[in-house]
Amino acid sequence: MSTSRGWWWLVGVIAGAVGLAVSYATAALLHVRESPVVAVAEGVTALTPGPVVKWAIRELEQDDKKALVVGMLAILTLVFALLGRVARRRWWVAVAGYVVLAGVAVIAVLTKPTPSLIDLVPIVVGLLCWIVALAVLAEWLRRWELVEESEDPAVEPMHTRRHFFVAVAATAGFAAFGGLLGRIAGSARRRAEESRRLLRLEGVTAPEVPDGAEFDIDGLSPWQTPNEDFYLIDTAYIKPAIDPAGWELRIHGMVDREITLSYSDLVAREITEDWITLNCVSNSVGGDLIGNAWWSGVRLAAILAEAGPQQGADAVLQTSEDGWTCGTPLAALMEDDRNALLAIGMNGEPLPIEHGFPVRTIVPGLYGYVSATKWVVDMEVTRFSDIEAYWTQKGWAEQGPVKMSSKIEVPHDGDEVPAGEVVCAGVAWAQHTGIAGVEVQVDGGAWERAELAGVPNDDTWVQWRIMLDVEEGDHQLRVRATDKDGEVQTGVARDVLPDGATGWHTIDLSVKA
């Protein structure tokens, strides 16, 4: 290929490689679980008819995923080469091709169980790299072409050809560097995931739904929130990837004896397990930022007692590996009758990395932002008057006890149902106090008592249900709870800021004849 023409294929392939490598590196740096290619591969698997997938898995044994990724890379190489070729005359066709490819990746990512916007960053970065790399390489190749076509003997083809190859080498090197960076950045996460998979935690048992805790109603939240459906809230763009072997928790400050715990120290202690419902202060009335899990961990009361808090201390400033902080009332962590835990297990498994692996705090009855530190590494016993935690600095309340609340999940807001008997159901919670009753009201009429499912303790949500007889027309349903202290959930609507929303969850229902 002494003439410039044939090289357009190469330009396409190299530009394509740069985009893929950089998006892979970005995904790894951001600790996004799946790089775009893998997300697309998984999307392909999801869209492929079951029998075909089964056949492929049987034929390829464990290598089905790898084979799919390799096959996709082969097809992509071909597509990139073609895009390079068409870019010679119509660069915008190549750009349109990139946009389509990125669009496929976006769909693949957004159709995953818990999509998040951050997962789209690697795709956008990759798309930009495709376009820039193509523009740069095409520019040098075009100069070479111009020189070749020119009649002027004074211009030297060799010279521009060399420039083009330098550009090719530099771009290819950049792609290789991106790939390498991706591997290195991903390795901490891979190691942490590997350690997590290999952990066998004594005393961490599989959850069993307590008898009578769950109504069998379509659309009602299951009693147990599976780990992959559990809401995620944190400030970490890059989730800390901590190997348990390197984890330590330092307890210091206003204590008689400073304590440093290693992971093996911690798991060797007595493990306490229980159902605890965790929710976020930012959960609006009727919102989804709540989940119920079977937590396994070590009670903080005993550990803090060993450290010996000093007179005047009323707070513990917790810090995570990524530097997030929260202030927790010392009393809540030390109460005999409260399961404040250094949790190592969630629903019978080691904590998922996103939920704080290897160790997080869980305190029944407090919102997450003042208690549930994921990736916790430091606890300073102190005074509230001496500290300002992450969210407190941003205007949220210093103290964050959970507010009693309830929501209607069935029917769904805006549903249309036939007239007659309608099942109405949902959940209510007042962690660490307990729910005594739930009532539902239709169109501002009398409050009717709902039936409550069972609960194993006062730290969880409770399911409720009621049969309503509704006539044709538009109706409004409302729910309120009463806690075991006899307090009735307030109907005063307040926003989540600064210390949690209040008000009755209200939905519209349209009843047809």
Ligand X SMILES: Nc1nc2c(c(=O)[nH]1)N[C@H]1C(S)=C(S)[C@@H](COP(=O)(O)O)O[C@H]1N2
Q: Which residues bind ligand X (CB under 6 A)?
A: 230-236, 278, 280, 320, 322, 324, 355, 368-369, 372-375
Q: Where are the alpha helices (DSSP H) in 61-156?
A: 64-87, 91-110, 121-149
Residue 178 vs 368, nearer CB to Mo ion: 368
Q: How many residues bind Mo ion (CB under 5 A)?
A: 4
Q: Going edge to edge, which strands form the sheet with 259-262?
A: 259-262, 248-253, 376-382, 315-320, 325-329
- The DSSP annotation for 414-461 comes to TEEEESEEEEEEEEEE-TTT-EEEEEEEETT--EEEPEEPP-SSTTS-
**Among Mo ion, ligand X, none, what binds residue 188 when CB lies within 5 to 8 Å by partner kind?**
none
**Among ligand X, Mo ion, none, what binds residue 221 when CB lies within 5 to 8 Å by partner kind?**
none
CA angle 242, 30, 244 (to 5 degrees): 5
123, 138, 192, 280: residue in contact with Mo ion (rule CB under 5 A): 280
Show Cβ contacts of residue 64 under 8 Å, excluding neighbours closer than 6 positions: 53, 56, 57
For residue 129, the minimal CB distance to ligand X (Å) is 30
For residue 282, the minimal CB distance to Mo ion (Å) is 5
Residue 136 vs 236, nearer CB to ligand X: 236
Residue 221 vs 373, nearer CB to ligand X: 373
368, 437, 500, 503: residue in contact with Mo ion (rule CB under 5 A): 368
What is the Cα–Cα distance from 8 to 143, expressed in whole angstroms? 13
Residue 126 vs 364, nearer CB to ligand X: 364
For residue 326, the minimal CB distance to ligand X (Å) is 7
**Which residue's C-beta sits nearest to Mo ion?**
280
* Pattern 227-246, Mo ion, x by CB under 5 A: ------x-------------
Stretch that binds Mo ion, among 257-265, 277-285, 380-388, 451-459 (CB under 5 A): 277-285
For residue 400, the minimal CB distance to Mo ion (Å) is 9
Residue 375 vs 464, nearer CB to ligand X: 375
The distance from CA 496 to its chain's CA centroid, rounded to whole angstroms, is: 21
For residue 224, the minimal CB distance to ligand X (Å) is 14
Residue type, 148: E
User: Is residue 190 within 8 Å of 34, Cβ to Cβ?
Assistant: no
Interactions with Mo ion, residue window 438-457 (CB under 5 A): none
**Which residue's C-beta sits nearest to ligand X?**
368
**Among ligand X, Mo ion, none, what binds residue 78 when CB lies within 5 to 8 Å by partner kind?**
none
For residue 346, the minimal CB distance to ligand X (Å) is 8
**Among Mo ion, ligand X, none, what binds residue 320 when CB lies within 5 to 8 Å by partner kind?**
ligand X
> Which token pair is 217?
């109603």
Interactions with Mo ion, residue window 468-487 (CB under 5 A): none
Beta bridge partners of 23: none
For residue 401, the minimal CB distance to Mo ion (Å) is 14
For residue 381, the minimal CB distance to ligand X (Å) is 19
| HSE (side-chain half, CA atoms, 13 Å) at 495 | 3
Which candidate, 269, 277, 259, 256, places its Cα nearest to that of 339? 277
What is the Cα–Cα distance from 144 to 66, expressed in whole angstroms? 39
- In whole angstroms, how far apart are CA 198 and each of 123, 295, 348, 362, 371? 32, 19, 14, 24, 28
Site residues for Mo ion per CB under 5 A: 233, 280, 368-369
